[in-house]
Structure 1
């Protein structure tokens, strides 16, 4: 036997012995249950995964506040939207189902500001002159408009009429008296919507962030230099640095966050520059710092049992760090409710007092 052949055989034997040893060790490390016939490893619900809308793993360790019921709007599952505060501390929001804008006073007296005939209100914002602007749409018929009314609900006027071809969902004013609005068109594979800017003359409309899938919520930073938008159809949070009202700064456009599950809706900024996004279908609000990093969340009670999941919008009081989230329970029996929680900072004042 030559030395080469001897070395080859010796190496083969050593390799076989090593493989056998590894297999033996592997068998020894296997749990007894899985080694026995008929015992198969299985998945099982636990406290983190059971329920209708479990918190995604990446968000489970966030600072968390559980909101409390503050006002029952209706025992029926009315769709609520567009929560904001006026200069007098009243909370305004939309009854989408009833095509009404409602006013809730600090002592919790509810009244109707204005009713619309054919479109459903969804987004509210105050012009610097004190008028209330209303984004309204008709989703089944792919149409919408933006109206303005006096604070008492009189003088209804179409600012952007339905014939303009947009589906306005939400809006926010800048300090110059112009406003941004979202166009709710499209779907996840056909991004036909976007963010547009209407100048202070209220006639010139310019595309700022086109090609979005069902553009939804909007917020401006306290200095007005950063624009935030949610893309409902693709679960995205956009952060835009503005060079001017209609121009994105160089390398100033980014997707700051990709949500898991349904679906980012309206949002608000606070005085520290944090943004709060209502998560429709999850009964919660996610809070992000000015860089778009999640730093906290507000949970609505009953969400773990499938209640109060249609959390569409929120408002933060301009003098206090009090957040008020509006939601409805659909056919779940808990009606339409305003919930209250404390958050990081007070809200921004209405545009009319900036």
Structure 2
């Protein structure tokens, strides 16, 4: 999620170019490759009540259906949509009169779909068919109300949440919060961050990549075998210009896909912090401002990127540099 959208919500609430990887120049240095994405479909249009639409949190279920959230959907409008990629159709999977959902991911523990409600500081879960909504977590963490943005699960189903607290005030009070899979025990793993946003485990679940929206940087937070943390460090500084670092996904080779708010593109880095690819949409596409997130098909390289702006909320597709895994399916 991003600052301009949250400010608006706060007021309202009260062809494809397929490339296999990067190359090197004559000196052996990594060369940034451009990958052109192609349009799949328009999923949503700007809502009359909110004046915008913002797609986020793409995630596949076991049957291969893709789910996305519309962050700015008003009461009663589809807040979670299920997309049939073959038919290029979208239907309502869930709606309510309250939630402001910024991410979605299926739990490896109970198979339910978990949603982060940014404005209300809650985690909501749904059954696989979209029924049985439950509040999984609500309340303060260490005396502070969360603004949960994205989430990641470990192998046991415990949640790791990017808490963007302080975003609307412009202060560095962001956190990484761990919530046990029962929703009872919480722990702050990191704090004092600049609007924590994207969050994803690395391939071996040894640490978390966490983007800081208002500093355009990606930090790395080692995680021990008990889910605790060691000291974090700034791993990648992103030259975003007017764009800011949004959600993060990780493929089977460990590459990081960094979404950009303020530019309809994604940057791809390897684990050494080298920029190895840029995902761009075709130049003629107008009225699209941000590429918020991506899901790479599990076990395949076909990726689906959520892109939004005044023209609506769209899906674009491209060939990822490696296959999709849990770390590139939601969050």
The TM-score range, normalised by the shorter chain, is 0.7 to 0.9
1:252: how far off? 5.4
The question of 1:166 aligning with 2:146 is answered: yes
Count of residues paired in the alignment: 284
Alignment partner, residue 66 of structure 2: 91
**Residue by residue, what CA displacement relative to the aligned partner does 1:200-219 show, whole Å, maximum 9, x if unpaired?**
33211111121112111111
The 5 Å alignment of 1:220-231 reads 220-231=201-212
* TM-score (ref. length: structure 2): 0.79
Partners of 2:44 and 2:293 in 1: how far apart? 17
Larger relative helix fraction? 1
Q: 1:254 and 1:310 mapped to 2: Cα distance?
A: 24
What does residue 39 of structure 2 align with? 69
Query: Per the alignment, do residues 259 and 179 of structure 1 end up closer, same or farther by CA in structure 2, a change over 3 Å counting?
Result: farther
**Could you tell me which of 81, 97, 103 is aligned with 1:102?**
81
- Structure 1: which 5+ runs fail to align? 1-59
Counterparts of 1:266 and 1:200 in 2: how far apart (Å)? Answer: 22
Contact 1:278-1:311 within 8 A present in 2 as well: yes
Structure 1 residue 111: deviation in Å? 1.3
Contact 2:294 2:328 in 1 (8 A): no
Q: Please give the alpha-carbon distance, in whole angstroms, between the structure 2 residues aligned to 1:118 and 1:200.
A: 24
What secondary structure does 1:292 align onto? coil
Matches within 5 A, 1:1-354: 62-76=32-46, 77-98=52-73, 100-107=79-86, 108-128=88-108, 129-138=110-119, 143-161=120-138, 165-187=145-167, 190-249=171-230, 253-261=233-241, 262-302=243-283, 307-330=287-310, 334-349=311-326
**Residues 70-102 of structure 1, C-alpha deviation per residue, up to 9 Å, x if partnerless?**
111134352111111111111111011225111
TM-score with structure 1 length normalisation?
0.74
Following superposition, which runs of at least 4 residues in structure 1 exceed 4 angstroms of deviation?
none
Counterpart contact for 1:174–1:351, Cα < 8 Å: no
Q: Is the 8 A contact 1:311 1:327 kept in 2?
A: yes
Counterpart secondary structure, 2:114: strand
Question: What SS does the aligned partner of 1:248 have?
Answer: coil
